[in-house]
Amino acid sequence: MDSDAVYSRAAQEGWSNEELMLVLTCQLMPGDILGRRKLREEADQIQGKPVDQWPPFEIRWDFDLKSRHLFLDGTSGDNIDKMFPAGLTSIMVPMKQLGSVLCEYSRRSPEEIWDVGSPHKVARAVAWWVRGERMTPPLLRVFQGQCISIAGGHHRTAVANAKGIPLLPAYVPTDELSAFQKLIPDAYARNSLT
């Protein structure tokens, strides 16, 4: 679809500027806009509610290699390969141990679920899981050998923590795995993604 056709369709269907930009940059297909709006409406019904008032849902993770770009807000698989030439390892992390070694800027307690970061992204993650959908695990990195940083997936991790899951699946750059396990000795590898 050429840009004139996109602008015309955007005007006819009342797309927001954000929706128009996502379509123009090929991050969203025009046919997906209504589904995105519906998810936003569902998220609006959840936003601000205490955890015990959330609709019931199971946290389900997507380990499909084709979906890995989603943990960095749509970064292409080719760029991820360039960013992590040694590959990524899928690991399981005890949530309590993770909380004790997270870098300050990555910390969020369950009580802060709506106060830190984007409340709408938290609500959208909950709404997505309420639908029974899957999300990619977060990307965790070792920062200066001292703490763990959530490099992608702050809101998913916050929701999982608020729900009280004991083990968090995550991706870690393979060349950081040893340093990661020094900080969280009970973390264990699921498999390597190269």
pLDDT one-digit tens code per residue, 93-135: 999 999 999 999 898 888 999 999 999 999 999 999 999 999 9
Same domain, 39 and 69: no
Q: Could you tell me the sign of the dihedral formed by the alpha carbons of 87, 144, 148, 118, in that order?
A: negative
Same domain, 36 and 70: no
Residue 73 pLDDT: 67
How many domains does the structure of the chain reveal?
2
Structural domain harbouring 104: 47-193
Same domain, 2 and 98: no
Q: Mean per-residue pLDDT for 40-50? A: 96
Q: Is the pLDDT of residue 38 over 70?
A: yes
Query: Which comes out higher in pLDDT, residue 32 or 104?
Result: 104
Residue 69 pLDDT: 54
List all residues 6 or more positions away from 187 whose beta carbon is below 8 Å from its beta carbon.
91, 92, 93, 94, 97, 180, 181
Per-residue pLDDT band for 30 (boundaries 50, 70, 90) equals: confident
Same domain, 63 and 157: yes
> Using CA atoms, how far apart are residues 128 and 43, in angstroms rounded to an integer?
8
Same domain, 36 and 71: no
Same domain, 24 and 117: no
Q: Mean per-residue pLDDT for 69-85? A: 74
Same domain, 142 and 55: yes
Same domain, 73 and 38: no
Same domain, 168 and 119: yes
Q: Is the pLDDT of residue 24 over 80?
A: yes
Same domain, 82 and 172: yes
Same domain, 107 and 131: yes
Mean pLDDT of the chain: 89
Give the highest mean pLDDT range of 53-57, 77-81, 86-90. Answer: 53-57
Same domain, 147 and 115: yes
